[in-house]
Structure 1
């Protein structure tokens, strides 16, 4: 499929150049009013199709605010790289930092440093729990997983054999989505057997490799259960040309451009939309309200509509309008 989402939303993310700016000092409740606010957005990874889409939408959303200058940095799906970028953003005195964590546990101490430095700090996709202060703009990952799992209750055949693909260890979205599948599906369907489960770190290529191995070891697999669309797409790629897996069910989350095309083709069964445009617009709106003092605290979620073959054209049209397909 030539229209892979990563290609459709490819972008060039900046590095950590030394810049200047002034955050609010420690303990200040009122922030200095400025004509221009410098905001650092630290993206998880350009190679992750959803993260790349979100970074593009962040840049577009920031253009609607004359007093915000957004700089985007690529965390490269590497905790050390992302942590160093947070430290650099603090040292370079950005007015605000928006962090898309690779691993919330690994990034948490560095995000806390930004909060403690008096910098407006938002965690997004996923939010980081347990911080002392800070703000968040996210989706509810349990609900994202639950709406797809509840559909699968009706679709997965009796005594089915399934494989499960998870995101990075310690990632809030991966953990919560997997919890939703456990409670909403597996606990309700003791007849279903998980023949293989592993993390593919949101990565399409890693999922492809795992699925190649699993399909050799298991002649019968009835469904692919993935915590995001990117991994589901990789798993489906691994099964191309293998007639014994024709008609396999496959479930994801994110509703990426590539996922909508896979649903249209009848390859991906369902996903739930995590709208990067809505998420980005809410992030930039929130950071502006916090910087200008309009609000003191923000913790909000976007919605998560289900996408199936019945309504997929609506979302394909959305991506066509956005230039992502």
Structure 2
């Protein structure tokens, strides 16, 4: 039976917000009865991983009786994301969690959160070096490394490959590309990069680039993508074309879509960046900071390589949480 991805991206959050756990503010007095207002500034709901993470943040917040979480959509636009941060500061949130679109563009606005005396957390990806801010993330170098090590044994000699990059200046995008260079390309000088460009985590942008590359270069042996969404876009362009039936495709995030593509043999591997784990760790972190249990936290989730050998267990995981339906 054909599998379909559940419509988990339908969040409808432009300039509005999703409420994760109700309750409202308590009127002063004993902090044990306080409801903490937490704003989560999501990068962009058009990005499948960002949408998944936003959903999981809401679900994780629902487990805390003293946290009210609202999610705001940055729409992959630095100006809109920065405005959302400023609005959250002005509107009396106790903590603001920021998923940067471009870390350096958001840096001064996260610094404003700290200056306002609020709890500041950066996540997916962290912005390093902000005194007074905490972070919850994954190690993007390691995420790419596990894929690159696999590719060393799989990519054929003298292969033609293309590289899909995330946004310039994004910590995850940059670190994943560095890992691919050091672990794979430096060890495989026979491999020719025939196309490399920024697709900014976006499926449509990846499709446009892949269309150009297939027209210009014909057969491509491997697609090296810094995330699953762009990898899926590249695959959409060559779907059903026998010229590309053996093309290798590598990604990061371990999204439901990527797992189905690995299961049906279209995609080679991905590294799980569990939005479930990331959201749970974010809420645990913000709660500890708000209640004074900790004053500074910088922590990472683990990375797991997903291939045809173990993909079935992750497909089952997504079936159980409703992101894949039959």
User: Taking structure 1 as the reference length, what is the TM-score of the superposition?
Assistant: 0.93
Q: Please name the residue that 1:3 is paired with.
A: 4
User: Given the alignment of the two structures, is residue 74 of structure 1 paired with residue 73 of structure 2, yes or no?
Assistant: yes
Structure 2, unaligned stretches of length 5 or more? 18-23
- The separation in 2 between residues aligned to 1:115 and 1:21, in whole angstroms, is 21
What corresponds to 2:20 in structure 1? none
Q: Are the counterparts in 1 of residues 8 and 51 from structure 2 also a CA contact under 8 Å?
A: no
Structure-2 residue corresponding to 1:259: 258
1:134: which partner in 2? 133
User: TM (normalized to structure 2)?
Assistant: 0.93
Could you say which residue in structure 2 is the equivalent of 1:303? Answer: 302
Counterpart contact for 2:138–2:300, Cα < 8 Å? yes
**Structure 1 residue 228: Cα displacement:** 0.2
Give me the whole-angstrom Cα distance separating, in 2, the residues matched to 1:9 and 1:45. 10
CA distance in 1, matches of 2:174, 2:92: 33
Q: Is the 8 A contact 1:14 1:72 kept in 2?
A: no
Q: Partners in 2 of 1:209 and 1:311 — Cα distance?
A: 31
The Cα offsets for residues 117-150 of structure 1, whole Å up to 9 and x where unpaired, read as 1100100000001212200000000000000000
List structure 1 runs of 4+ shifted beyond 6 angstroms: none
Matching residue of 1:100:
99
The aligned counterpart of 1:116 is 115
For the aligned residues, what is the CA RMSD? 1.8
1:93-132 superposed Cα distances (whole Å, 9 cap, x missing partner):
2000000000001000001000111100100000001212
C-alpha separation in 2, matches of 1:80 and 1:203: 18
Written as runs of structure 1 = structure 2, the 5 A alignment for 1:269-280 is 269-280=268-279
- Displacement, 1:180? 0.5
CA distance in 2, matches of 1:259, 1:310: 14
The alignment of Structure 1 onto Structure 2 pairs a total of residues equal to 314
- Does residue 287 in structure 1 map to residue 286 in structure 2? yes
Distance 1:13 1:55 in 2: 10
Name structure 1 gaps, 5 residues minimum.
Answer: 23-30
1:25 aligns to what? none
